[in-house]
Amino acid sequence: MLSCRFGGGSGFRLELEDNEDLVVVRSVRRGARHDVSPLSSPSRTAQDRLTPLFGFPEAGVGVYAAPVGDAPNIAVVLNEDPEVEFAGRGLRDQFGAPVVYTENVFVKFRDDLSDSECAAVLAEAGLTVKRTAGSAPNAYFAGAPTGSRLERLIYLYATTYLRDDILVKVDRASMACSLEVRAPFLDAELVEFLGRVPPGLKLRRFDTKHLLKRAMARTLPPGIVDRPKKGFGIPIAEWFRHDLRDALRDRRPLLEKAAGSRPSPG
């Protein structure tokens, strides 16, 4: 669960969750309708797995529903399409509504740090400053290093979602069960080596983890090597619409009070 706050310490707090069921696509062509495919033929198979929800034609942005757990793989495939400027997973708020965000990373440092100190930290993380946020001191919109779309997507995943969400959940859940968990694929030397591997060996059309699958093909049975990825997303929106619907309706006054100053849609 990710969160952001608007309006300072006393402002509105927004909780965001990645259920791996949304894909946000920005096409190269501006003005394209979100319900008309801007994709080239190699990615039509991916498009067929998506359901158009809404879009912003002037920005070339469309938001699509994907089968739960499939959004990461679909986004990776679409990022290699020449008609796509950017594709990434979408987030939902605490009410299950899609939230559109950009590929920029917002970074806020302590107010007592100098500009040079902030710049040094950003440079060490491999981020470049796109612009400052005028409403707050030491606040920046930063972008990932240049490279292929797949490499940029992997970089953003490793430095944000993997580090700040997935690994945190694993750490908390394992400690709660008195387990010591290790992530062997995050070995420093292995990560550095894979950073030099060409993108074509990491992804072949819809075959993700291509190099790993080939390396383990003689060791593991096909049912394990070729098994589809299983996501850990919680179907909270489905619960709200069905199983928990009556319970939430009974508690509507309490929920409305908890929502506080949440701005109304539109």
Domain residue ranges in the chain: 1-101+229-259, 105-143
Backbone φ/ψ region at 148: left (φ over 0), alpha (ψ -120 to 50), beta: beta
Residue 232: its pLDDT value, please? Answer: 64
d(CA 103, CA 87): 9
Mean of the pLDDT values across residues 76-88? 76
- Say yes or no to pLDDT of 101 above 50: yes
Residue 2: its pLDDT value, please? Answer: 66
pLDDT digits (tens, 9 = 90+) for 103-136: 566 778 888 889 888 888 887 766 778 778 766 7
- Say yes or no to pLDDT of 1 above 50: yes
pTM for the model: 0.42
End-to-end CA distance of the chain: 24
- Say yes or no to pLDDT of 265 above 50: no
**81, 89, 106, 224: which is closest to 162 by C-alpha?**
89
Q: What percent of the chain has pLDDT over 90?
A: 2
Residue, of 4 and 103, whose pLDDT is higher: 4
Residue, of 6 and 254, whose pLDDT is higher: 254
Residue 266: its pLDDT value, please? Answer: 44
